[in-house]
Homo-oligomer: A and B are copies of this chain.
Amino acid sequence: MERQNTDIRQEQIKQAVLDIIYTDGLKNLSTRNLANRIGMSEGAIFRHFPTKQDIILSIIKDVQTDFIGQLRKIANSHMEPEVRLEKFVCETVNYLTKNKGITMLLFSEASHNNDVSMKSSLQQIFNNQKKLVSKIFLDGIAAGTWDESVPVESLAMLYMGIPVSLNIELILSGGEFHADNFCNRMMQLLLKILNK
């Protein structure tokens, strides 16, 4: 195989991990399958990552910086709460549709790993999402546009189910799925809860 530097190969490897998880499931995520999917030897993978676990950790770090970073930007912006909420939901749907293996990776593999740094990263990802969406809810309530009797904590918890129900649809529908539609439909339901 043609030579490439580590930066490019690391990206390829991480992309292949998510790809395999989505198409073949976590239990088929072996270093052999990984090498075959990219078209390189098994040994070459270990030129770019010390262990398989480190690949997973690197992906989770990406989620923290790219995905959560973007959500934080949206939640803390000075747009109207309703606009922020829409961007927040659609960004989530968009990211998870583009990186289809992420949900399953976070939910099942990482959630029961003995690795301490993995587990705390996971908790941070979930808690950050909840905190940021709650901030938008609270801002809208403080601004007087949304109902102050809304149980913000519970609604944030209900919200957290959206990415997963998206994933279930993605898997069962077999790919033919329209993200825009899904995003707007979830917004409509959230607004019915939030409006006075």
Residues on A facing B (Cβ under 8 Å): 23-28, 104, 107-109, 111-113, 123, 126, 150-151, 154-155, 157-158, 160-165, 168-169, 171-172, 182, 185-186, 188-189, 192-193
Complexed CA–CA distance, A154 and B185 (Å): 6
Complexed CA–CA distance, A154 and B109 (Å): 28
In the complex, which residues of chain B have a beta carbon less than 8 angstroms from the beta carbon of A157?
165, 169, 182, 185
In the complex, which residues of chain B have a beta carbon less than 8 angstroms from the beta carbon of A113?
25
When all copies of this chain in the complex are counted, the total is: 2
| A contact face: mostly helix, strand, loop, or mixed | helix
A165 touches B172 (CB 8 A): no
In the complex, which residues of chain B have a beta carbon less than 8 angstroms from the beta carbon of A155?
189
A24 touches B107 (CB 8 A): no
Contact pick for A158, options B111, B162, B171, CB 8 Å: B162
A165 touches B154 (CB 8 A): no
A24 touches B161 (CB 8 A): no
Given contacts A111-B171, A161-B163, A192-B193, 12 further A-B contacts (CB under 8 A): A27-B27, A104-B107, A107-B107, A107-B108, A107-B168, A126-B168, A126-B172, A154-B186, A158-B165, A160-B161, A161-B161, A164-B164
